[in-house]
Structure 1
Amino acid sequence: MKSVEEEFGFAAIPVVSLPDLYGDKLCAALESFKRGEPDWNLAPEPHIQNLPAVQWKLRNIGRMSEGKRAQSLEKLEKVITEWLGWFIKFTIVTPIVKLYNFL
Structure 2
Amino acid sequence: MRFLLDQNLPVRLCALLQQQGHEALHVEVLGLGTATDAEVWAEARRQDAVVVSKDSDFMVLAARKGRLVRLRVGNRANRDLFDIIDRNWPQVVERLDGGERIVELRA
Task: Using structure 1 for the length normalisation, give the TM-score.
Answer: 0.26
Which entry has the higher C-alpha Rg, 1 or 2? 1
Which of the pair is proportionally richer in strand?
2
Structure number with higher relative contact order (C-alpha < 8 Å, ≥ 6 residues apart): 2
Task: Using structure 2 for the length normalisation, give the TM-score.
Answer: 0.25
